[in-house]
Amino acid sequence: MILRKWLSTTLALVAALAMAIAVDVRAAKADDLSSLDGEWIFVEDRTEGRTLEQLSPPMASKFEMRVEKDAIILNGHGSGHRDVRIALDGSTTEIDEPKSISRYQGAWRGDAFSYQVAFERKAGAPQGIGLIRRKFRMTTEGLLVSVVVDPPAGKESIGLYRHAEDIPMPPQAKAVIDDLRWLSGAWVGTRSSGSSIEERWSPPLGGAMLAVSRSVNTSGKMVAFEYLRVIERDGGLVYVAQPGGKTQTEFVLTELTANLAVFENPRHDYPKRIVYELSADGALSATIGQTKGGTPRRFDFKREATR
């Protein structure tokens, strides 16, 4: 009788302990999964074997994941689809469009969330990517994202992402607005497409320089504009850009010489770096790109002739 009672008590304790462990495991998994929530900004390409010029994000420079019970909601993952709900039980989410059907499947395994999206092209639609696989794993450095397009032939790309508030801003160079006097004036250039682009910068005055940028296509239609300014702040300079007059983005001055100014904001998706440089012959170049590597976009200007 005593033995049976001891055995019964022991089994009950073991069962209770097993249940507690299971609860702890589920809680830990839930906590890990919740860490994927929020907006993520590209920080660094971690793909092995790439040259400096080849460095780039494995997917969008900015994307969002919203963690819900038994599912993750995707936004900005490069497919053009919004609020894609991926159930964690492996079931399929299907999106039917005029030219294709996209099928999403995902799951939480171990310490990572993975999903794939398969594309079925409808009759008459051009062929394209057939399958994309993505994996998201939290680390002490941030979120590691790996992407393979059309496996197994496609190669794996890996990138590090962080929340914007977890990305440190670079140290600010000391400067005053008059140090950028060489940027003032009307600058005009031509894109490779044949469209014109201009930036018109006011002289430094009152701790600021103001500018407007405009692009006009070959048929004479304005296709883009931007409000720009550089202002003095905290002993340095801040470049403020408003493409299309929309929400402003700020970049801090990190490097300055007699003919070069570098502005950076690693918390922005793209661009993260803006560089103005005045050449010896008086021409102006503006480049935008990632903080490190990649292929920056370059715009070349000449000072507009006075009339």
171 belongs to a structural domain: no
Residues 6+ apart with CB under 8 A from 192: none
How many domains does the chain contain in total?
2
Residue 45, token pair as written in the block: 């390409």
Parallel, antiparallel, or unpaired: how do β-strands 222-233 and 236-243 relate? antiparallel
Question: Do 231 and 211 contact (CB within 8 A), yes or no?
Answer: no
Give the predicted TM-score (pTM) of the model.
0.85
Q: What is the pLDDT along the chain (307 residues), one digit of tens a residue?
A: 443 443 344 334 334 433 333 333 333 344 578 999 999 999 999 999 999 999 999 999 999 999 998 999 999 998 788 999 999 999 999 999 999 999 999 999 888 999 999 999 998 889 889 999 999 999 999 999 999 999 888 899 999 999 999 999 999 999 999 999 999 999 999 988 889 999 999 999 999 999 999 999 999 999 999 999 999 999 999 999 999 999 999 999 999 999 999 999 999 999 999 999 999 999 999 999 999 999 999 999 999 976 6
Looking at this protein, which amino acid is placed at residue 246? Answer: K
DSSP-derived secondary structure for 195-225 = -EEEEEEPPPBTTEEEEEEEEE-TTS-EEEE
In this structure, the answer to whether residues 50 and 142 fall within a common structural domain is: yes
Can the peptide bond before residue 271 be classed as cis, meaning omega within 30 degrees of 0?
yes
Domain of 83, in residue numbers: 40-165
Q: Could you say which of 132, 165, 198 is where a domain stops?
A: 165
CA distances from 238 to 110, 173, 220, 233, 254 (A): 44, 10, 33, 7, 10
In this structure, the answer to whether residues 49 and 151 fall within a common structural domain is: yes
Residue 173, token pair as written in the block: 């160079």
Q: Could you say which of 165, 198, 214 is where a domain stops?
A: 165
72 belongs to a structural domain: yes
218 belongs to a structural domain: yes
In this structure, the answer to whether residues 157 and 270 fall within a common structural domain is: no
32 belongs to a structural domain: no
Q: Could you say which of 165, 189, 216 is where a domain stops?
A: 165
In this structure, the answer to whether residues 248 and 143 fall within a common structural domain is: no
Residues 6+ apart with CB under 8 A from 76: 60, 62, 63, 64
